[in-house]
Amino acid sequence: MWAFPLVVVAVVAVAAGLVVGITGLTANPVRSLNGDGTSTLHGTFQPYQCDASHCTGYIQAGARSVFVQFPSGCPPPPRGSDLTVAGRPAPDLGKGAYRAVACA
């Protein structure tokens, strides 16, 4: 008698887990390409090397991330902060790397 509602709840939970998992795998930190040659980057920031003069790190959305370098003099964003920045592709820094055009 109680088994059928339990099965329904289990099926709904598995379906919700699949939706969340697939969304996480397909998320992309590059939200849009702008007309001025910049890209809008959005996600969670993880610092790589940050000090008083410059900061580099990763912006992650789901399972994907991009490397970003902030301009000199920018205060480092807090680890794990959700941020949106505009950046230009920087192939000299590596594949999937961007230089932010302003501080976060």
Q: Give the lowest-confidence range in 13-22, 34-43, 49-58, 88-97.
A: 13-22
CATH superfamily of 29-100: Nucleic acid-binding proteins (2.40.50.140)
What does the pLDDT read at residue 66?
A: 95
Q: What share of the chain is helix, strand, coil (3-state, %, to 5)?
A: 25, 40, 35
* CB half-sphere exposure, 28, CA atoms < 13 A: 8
pLDDT surpassing 70 at residue 17: no
Question: How do residues 34-70 score in pLDDT, each as one tens digit?
Answer: 989 899 999 999 999 988 888 999 999 988 999 999 9
Residue-range domain boundaries for the chain: 29-100
pLDDT surpassing 90 at residue 14: no
